[in-house]
Structure 1
Amino acid sequence: MTVADDVLAPVRIAAQAAADKQGHKIVAFDVSEQLAITDVFLIASAGNERQVGAIVDGVEEKLIAAGRKPVRREGDRENRWVLLDYIDFVVHVQHTEERSLYNLERLWKDCPQIPLDLDLAPDDPARSDDPAL
């Protein structure tokens, strides 16, 4: 992996924030070798639009507390697929239907998956051994 620790730390904060707001199937990919515009894609799912919004707000709140503010926030009008751009990493929070339709994991399957070390209960829906789910 070529992603610096100063990028991985806020990615892990964002992932934990998503898990804390009941996000599920949370995965991160090192896309630094394939893209010049960012290093990491973090992806999380939610079952409805309200939950997508709650996850996005939770991620943004935790990262602002850590000194990181997104340079761009897109898709929050419909809350089906919201993107938070932090330059070094991009957070994608997708409604389950969009996640299945666009299948970003398939698109980035050749990129290394980043271990997130989330603090999850054993039966937490955020836990997923298969990022393609």
Structure 2
Amino acid sequence: MTQATYSEMIRSADELPFELFRSRWLLMPECDSILGFDASNLDHSAEVLRTVYDEINLPIQSLRAASGLSQRRFADLFAIPFRTVQNWEARGGCPIYLRLLFRPHIGLTPISEILGVDLTAK
């Protein structure tokens, strides 16, 4: 998967309901690089896309809980105002790009790795 396709997939997961996301990506050959994706088994591949969709859209509260950090420690770790973390969790307003950036720093697999894209390549 190219970096451009990666970005497009992230945006579509953020903007579309799952059914439209699945319809958009299920038959795309670019998805062959996704861990567990098998173009010959559409039911299984749809489940893989559901997992990817859910991981991309994981709420900030779930990300923080997975880290085992309190709101205060999470805020301190990322130099974010404590009230901002509280507001994100109360209102679900943390931008997707930050949720993606937080993942590897709290021990979760980066979405780029799940999708099989090397973001360091030029």
The alignment's TM-score, normalised by the length of structure 2, stands at 0.31
- Structure richer in helix, relative to its length: 2
- Structure richer in strand, relative to its length: 1
Q: Is the radius of gyration larger for structure 1 or structure 2? A: 2
The alignment's TM-score, normalised by the length of structure 1, stands at 0.30
